[in-house]
Structure 1
């Protein structure tokens, strides 16, 4: 084929046309390119857990059609992959730098960090966190509500010895279904009787004791280890035993606080 010679014998100008139609130019590699603004859009949306496809759809809506974006979904995907590779192991460092930078222009802002690969979910890490909170706020809280994490329990007792440590009712009660089985879990009579003594502070400790034991006997749960264990720590999570303390509904469970935390994380990303 290298030695083949082609000769043009005739040329009809009227049959000439563009190689690619205008509406197909978006698919030609040389004509596809993400602008800096589009790359910023993909990055910001990824911080909100929106993938490259949704980012492309957002830009398609903004520009009035997918053919006007100037790039394809694959281009968005490739950019996100390249960005992840670029950030790589420096992701944590970038977060720390951002937190430290905010101190320079925000008077009331405070942040602390410690580099320790072995500190995740340990007594030492919780103790460090609580000590920083104590330093920041200047005084210990009167009440702390957490789940049943044993490391956190020890850290709270050490850093906040005079703070009342309560266990989250929601975290405990959501385990009931797994502990009693499907049949009893769907028993409306059982649920009503149990919820009536758990989700209330209008009964006295003695009244709670009587009704709890009656429920355990009626539904044959008096030998259930989990219910026995929960009864042993009833002073730490049952409202009947701290009804005289000035607590609001927000301080009996952590579920609402977790919702607030989720909102604040999103707000931090958007800012």
Structure 2
């Protein structure tokens, strides 16, 4: 995957299942075998799910870094302040990651000013050029959006379906490039605006989508294609409530070897069965039947990835998206069309 997401899961099979029987919890299944070594409760702070860099520590790290204090001394000051390592819910590595992100927001010495000046020059050369700059509470450049007259004019004719993806490029400051892409009458991709963002959370996407929507005179697209990013999904529901949203099927199929490649039947039958259920089903009922058969045949009922896909089948399975215009080949190949 181009940008794997952090996870606290290890596919451990240890579990306890119970259900209510007349007001009493009855234990039905107990599995004690772990696939990792257990640790003492005192060391729980080392788990990713238990780490937390509080606001006070973030502020001190940022101030000390601006003053030129090296990370080892910066972290050491927090250790002394907390009364020892055991009282911290984070490690030095977490502090380094935070400072790296903060430095990205600063955009380098003079970077924000240079970008603003460039946009001003573009505005003088192109009356239809639009840009929006978002800064944080300390006036550090955080997100930017821009679109020229050509993109805005093209959207009037080819704005029914757009694709949005942040997995292609990042700039020297690690800010993801976020293009809005459409398809013209020749089946060619056309740029309908772009942005650089400092974070990939819901609030950032909401800001970017609203900036783009205002640039396009408030006319939302009829359909939008993205990857399975949860933050994007939430932002689309807020900014484009009437737009039909689907996931990129190309992205999902690309994950098959990673998620199911260890299955003994993956290269012989399983992969073909999944493709058949997706591409050969003519009705939703037929897909449901084929999907249920392959889950049972290959004993995949406990696979969380497949279960998650099935729960959101209306966002990516072709048969659920019939009758909606997806700009030709984007119907099956999504963002890579």
Same fold (TM over 0.5): yes
SS of the counterpart of 2:237?
helix
1:186, distance to aligned residue in structure 2 (A): 4.7
* CA distance in 1 between partners of 2:284 and 2:292 (Å): 12
CA RMSD between the two structures: 2.4
Change (3 A) 1:255 1:164: closer
Match of 1:167 in 2: 247
SS of the counterpart of 1:187?
helix
Greater shift after overlay, 158-167 or 248-257? Answer: 248-257
Long gaps (5+) in structure 2: 1-106, 143-197
Match of 1:128 in 2: 207
1:100, distance to aligned residue in structure 2 (A): 2.4
Given candidates 216, 235, 253, the residue that maps to 1:155 is 235
1:112, distance to aligned residue in structure 2 (A): 1.5
Could you list the per-position Cα deviations for residues 38-69 of structure 1 after superposition, in whole angstroms to 9, with x for gaps in the alignment?
A: xxxxxxxxxxxxxxxxxxxxxxxxxxxxxxxx
Q: Equivalences for 1:47-196 in 2 at 5 Å? A: 88-116=108-136, 120-138=199-217, 139-184=219-264, 186-196=266-276
Match of 1:249 in 2: 329
* CA distance in 2 between partners of 1:235 and 1:88 (Å): 43
Match of 1:29 in 2: none
Contact 1:170 1:253 in 2 (8 A): yes
1:195, distance to aligned residue in structure 2 (A): 1.3
* CA distance in 2 between partners of 1:166 and 1:148 (Å): 9
Change (3 A) 1:217 1:140: same
1:121, distance to aligned residue in structure 2 (A): 1.7
Contact 1:216 1:222 in 2 (8 A): yes
Higher helix proportion: 1
Contact 1:170 1:254 in 2 (8 A): yes
TM-score normalised according to structure 2 size? 0.46
Could you list the per-position Cα deviations for residues 126-163 of structure 1 after superposition, in whole angstroms to 9, with x for gaps in the alignment?
A: 11111111111120011111122222111111111111
* CA distance in 1 between partners of 2:336 and 2:111 (Å): 29
1:173, distance to aligned residue in structure 2 (A): 2.2
* CA distance in 1 between partners of 2:229 and 2:321 (Å): 21
* CA distance in 1 between partners of 2:211 and 2:265 (Å): 42
TM-score normalised according to structure 1 size? 0.56
Higher strand proportion: 2
* Aligned residue pair count: 170
1:183, distance to aligned residue in structure 2 (A): 4.5
Contact 2:260 2:266 in 1 (8 A): no
Change (3 A) 1:131 1:88: closer
Matched, 1:222 2:242: no
Change (3 A) 1:185 1:95: farther
Contact 1:145 1:166 in 2 (8 A): yes
Long gaps (5+) in structure 1: 1-86, 258-271
SS of the counterpart of 2:212?
helix
* CA distance in 2 between partners of 1:252 and 1:187 (Å): 22
Q: Quick check: which has more Rg, 1 or 2?
A: 1
